[in-house]
Structure 1
Amino acid sequence: MRSLERHRDVGAYALGVLGEAEAFRFEDHLVECAQCTAFVSEYRPATRQLMLYRQSTPRSVHPFAAPGPRLLDRLLGEVATRNRARRRRLLFALAASVVLATGGPALALVVGHDSPSGTAVVADPPSSQMARTDAETGVWAQVTTRERLWGSDIEVEVKDAKGPRSCELVAIGKDGSEQSVTSWMEPADNEAPLTMQGGSSMRSDEIRRFEVRTADGEHLVTLNSP
């Protein structure tokens, strides 16, 4: 495969539609191409949404079915909640700077602040965090989950000095089902941790544990849910 053709395969690789042999060759290309590695990272949010849509949509639903008004209302409601959460974090940051200057009394004013419409600012969605280093592989990982209407928003931070290799984070439910949360290419001789975003249609109380594995299925580290 010529170099230009390899660049053109970045979208197909990110969406997981390349054949096994082509994907293997493209991963060799990723080790040497910083541009394609960046493009794969940019495709991850779209890949995650398509994965969640596939997992939550019954097979009987036509792939081009239009969303109903209730779904649109839920999506708009979640966007509004995220915007309120951002404003709340900004207010806390402002409060912290005031506390350093005045000794703390102004903090209560910000915590009790209401939105312009008169309703209280909505708190951030519930979250949990777990971290572990595997004694055999030496791989360290930290997973943070946040509850969403559609399941869980998941952030994973991994430190693995034995690259290059293709890895993935897998969520394992209490019913034994597995869902791939996100995947990435671990660069060679990398001492710094990598941070990736992903998601699962399972809520955090439905997840028994997370596992970091290589693309070949080799186990790297397990994180049990609290």
Structure 2
Amino acid sequence: MTSQVEHTDVGAYALGLLEDDDRRAFESHLLGCASCRAELDELSGVASALTGVGPLLDDDPPPPDGQAQVIDLLRRRQAADRRARRGTWLIGTAAAVTLVAGGLTVGTQLAGQAGAPGGQPVAAAGHAGHLGPAEQFYADGTPVEGRGADGVTGGLVVESKGWGTHAALRLSGLRGPLECELVSVSRSGERHVMTGWSVPPAGYGVPGSPDPLYMHGGSPVPLKDIARFEVVTSTGRTLLTVEV
């Protein structure tokens, strides 16, 4: 038994598919291999769930579910691959074990991903239909457009809260790397940082990275007492000003 084959025998050992000689050799290998012991612990729950499921015989009646077929397939695949001494058997085993542990639901999951009721495609996370909190708040509100610099454009949606002011920001034309803050400026000149972030080199709302940036934050100053909002860099440059 080679070292590579030893490491790939965890799934077979957990399911009781190893022949006696290979089982004893693998048990000796386990004594000195912490990674195999850890992987065996992870598979023990699946192995327990399959206890008592044996191979299919030609005269056996069809089982009530697909578990016995999977186990029989694993046994036959193991026998063939042990003869060939291939190191890739665990890939097929892991996939089949996942099918059993998951209740053979992969097919229905893939079917569900193909489209939503009515034939509409299911949107992926981060796309339309799955907006983040800042983007959703901005989309539901009435944006106030700002005055930008250095090619930056954007706007704010603001609302009064019992604790102060909540704002959602949309920015485009933002080139990185930068460190920025959204700041509220009161009528008396008091400044409060509402939120801060880093802009990666790819930027936002620019060629090669067309998606705008959405952020939201809060100020303890009531909306009626705020004169404007500013997006400023860590170097003190003002990229966007929104008057309210």
TM-score, with structure 2 as normaliser: 0.38
TM-score, with structure 1 as normaliser: 0.41
Instruction: With a CA cutoff of 8 Å and minimum separation of 6, indicate the structure with the bigger relative contact order.
Output: 1
Structure whose alpha-carbon radius of gyration is higher: 2
